[in-house]
Amino acid sequence: MRSFSRLPDRVTNFAVAAFLAGCGVPERIPLPAPVPLTQGGTVVPAHGAGLGIDFGDGFLGQELLRTEILSVGLIGGLGDRVGVALYSFNETRQNDQGGTFIRMKVRAGPLLGPKSSVAAAFAYSTSSRVSGSLQDERVTTLDLAIPAEWLLAASADGWHELSAYLGPRIMFENYDDRLTPGESLEATHTGGLAGFHGRAGRLHLFGELNFLHFPGRIVRAQSYHSGWMVIPSVGIALHFGPSHRWGK
């Protein structure tokens, strides 16, 4: 009889445990920092608007671990000189935490020959998460790259083109932990990039490798050494409007 008298308590405990298991226990989620695709030294589109999808590696948390990031956004260009893009991104490997980034490109022109195009590409990203007394964090990045692109091949009608690009890159990352300020991180990633750009009419394909150096750091009493990270990314863009005209 004694065991039966405790049955309601056991049922209650089981129900509470099942509820917590279903809802999940709150936990801290590290924030992602993307390394946005530069799309080379041309403006895509040269004049008009379009859609872009990028997928590549990025940094995760103050530990600067490697993760994967999917980005979807709107792109636009004006006068084959200025390009602006607004993307929403999500980390896909661990926790689906996301954010946004803005990319702006200013094209200087064919500085390295008639079949070249040099540009300055800027990007600013942000991601944040607040979860009661468990987490209050925000990460921002400011990125600058100077890609120079060269036309390698083109069809007679100009419908298909293949080009390659390379250039230096520097990225400033600020990871702000408001609950534990001692765990905040300011890091500078320096290096370079190289990639290819293929076009078939209004469809653009990109493949890019970034080589970035990251600093040593201590996070939650654990030491992480400095080093180099190779960050691959691919992208696709569909534009409405004219394409870049080489030599202009």
What are the tokens at 142?
């400011």
10 Å CB burial of residue 78 (0-12, 13-18, 19+) is middle
Residue 23 has pLDDT above 70, yes or no: no
Whether the Cβ atoms of residue 80 and residue 60 lie closer than 8 Å to each other? no
Rounded Cα distance, 171 and 191, in Å: 9
The three-state (H, E, C) secondary structure of 133-196, written as one string: CCEEEEEEEEEEECCEEEEEEECCCCCEEEEEEEEEEEEEEEEEECCCHHHCEEEEEEEEEEEE
State the pLDDT at residue 181.
87
Give the range with max mean pLDDT: 10-24, 25-39, 194-208, 233-247.
194-208
pLDDT tens across 220-243, in order?
777 778 889 999 999 999 998 888
Residue showing tokens 């671990």: 65
Work out the pLDDT band at 26, boundaries 50, 70, 90.
low
Over residues 37-60, mean pLDDT? 95
Residue 20 has pLDDT above 60, yes or no: no
pLDDT tens across 68-85, in order?
999 999 999 999 999 999
Count of CB atoms situated within 10 Å of the CB of 199: 23
Ordered by where they begin, the domains of the chain are 29-240 (2.40.160)
State the pLDDT at residue 24.
52
State the pLDDT at residue 164.
98
Work out the pLDDT band at 111, boundaries 50, 70, 90.
very high
Residue showing tokens 């036309």: 151
Residue 14 has pLDDT above 50, yes or no: no
Among 30-34, 39-43, 157-161, 203-207, which is the least confidently predicted range? 157-161
Dihedral angle computed from the Cα positions of residues 38, 104, 198 and 209, in that order, rounded to the nearest 10 degrees: 0
Among 13-17, 29-33, 98-102, which is the least confidently predicted range? 13-17
